[in-house]
Amino acid sequence: MTVYLDVDDLVAIATVVLKAPPAVRDYGLLASAAARPGTVVFGHEAYPDLWEKAASLFHSVNANHALIDGNKRLAWSATAVFLGLNGVPVPRIDVDEAEAFVMAVSTGQLAEVPEIARRLRAVYRR
């Protein structure tokens, strides 16, 4: 069974990452990002694969801009926590590669969940 993050989890993660409580611009957007990995459409999971669930969380947190500052950091960290809670340990990750990945999603170069999932899986499997 998949473990999902909720709004409180995202705020707690952001608080750790930012070393202070985050300035939340829109709790609705934060809730939307938290809910996206568990989306069910016509009785079928929109993201049936764990990596696609993680990618949808990463993309939504990054794109929704629910925080005044720290959205990219929260996206990366929340995705790592989500994967960790679901049995995927955080590997040693090349910082430059991680930054390039985060920026590619942030700028829209990577915008499709299946492609984000593929790249995320590759980053985690090095």
Phi, psi dihedral angles at 41 (to 5 degrees):
-125, 120
Domain membership of residue 97 (yes or no) is yes
> What residues does 44 pair with on adjacent strands?
41
Any idea how long the chain is?
126
How many domains does the chain divide into? 1
Residue 126, pLDDT score = 64
- Whole-model pTM: value is 0.95
Distance of CA 47 to the CA centre of its chain: 13
Domain membership of residue 1 (yes or no) is no
What are the structure tokens assigned to 53, written together?
């669930």
Domain membership of residue 72 (yes or no) is yes
Domain span holding position 13: 7-124
List pLDDT tens digits, range 49-106. 999 999 999 999 999 999 999 999 999 999 999 999 999 998 888 889 889 999 999 9
Domain membership of residue 61 (yes or no) is yes
